[in-house]
Amino acid sequence: MPENMSRTDSDMERGAGWVIAQGAIFVFFLVAVVFGDTVADVPGLIFAQVVGLIVGLAGATVSAWALLQHGWRVSPFPKPIDDAHLVVSGPYRYVRHPMYTGIVIFTLGVGLAYANPVAMLSSVTFLVFFMAKTGCEEEMLVARVDGYRAYRSNVPWRIIPFVV
């Protein structure tokens, strides 16, 4: 457990259900990539796979950039760590949850690169899941992190700029 995480919080109070569900979606994605059927003999398939590789790398880059802005002061739980502070630089200037943005983009890219429709579908599953999770998470951020309410007003996009 990170030393800045309250030891008095139960896993359920921190949002363990969200973390378990997120892990299940990751497992679904990995199973789809490893064992799923790929599309073959489609015109432009090689182009789509190259685009998928680029998109996947872009998604990984966005998540890594967001992680670097936070340092290692992150948690998979929706409840913020005890001494959480507001980050407004880097990708946080454009969306409020860029690590989630990166995951959605990464899974879409990997699905394209592997020409695997089920893996691509997992990106939509992640997007819908992260919209629900951020709804819960943001209420806690407003209550616990100074300036988050104003930040939320200034950065209107949660995950995908100009979309959601």
38 CB neighbour count, 10 Å cutoff? 15
Q: In the prediction, which pLDDT does 3 show?
A: 47
User: Quick one: DSSP state of residue 81?
Assistant: P
Q: In the prediction, which pLDDT does 41 show?
A: 76
Structure tokens at 154: 């200034």
pLDDT digits (tens, 9 = 90+) for 69-118: 988 778 889 988 888 889 999 999 999 999 999 999 999 999 999 999 99
The yes-or-no verdict on residue 9 having pLDDT over 60 is no
pTM as predicted: 0.89
Q: In the prediction, which pLDDT does 5 show?
A: 46
Q: Is 132 exposed, middle or buried (0-12, 13-18, 19+ CB in 10 A)?
A: exposed
pLDDT digits (tens, 9 = 90+) for 10-42: 656 778 899 999 999 999 999 999 999 898 878
Q: In the prediction, which pLDDT does 6 show?
A: 46
Gyration radius (Cα) of the chain, Å: 17
Q: In the prediction, which pLDDT does 1 show?
A: 45
Greater confidence (41 vs 51) lies with: 51
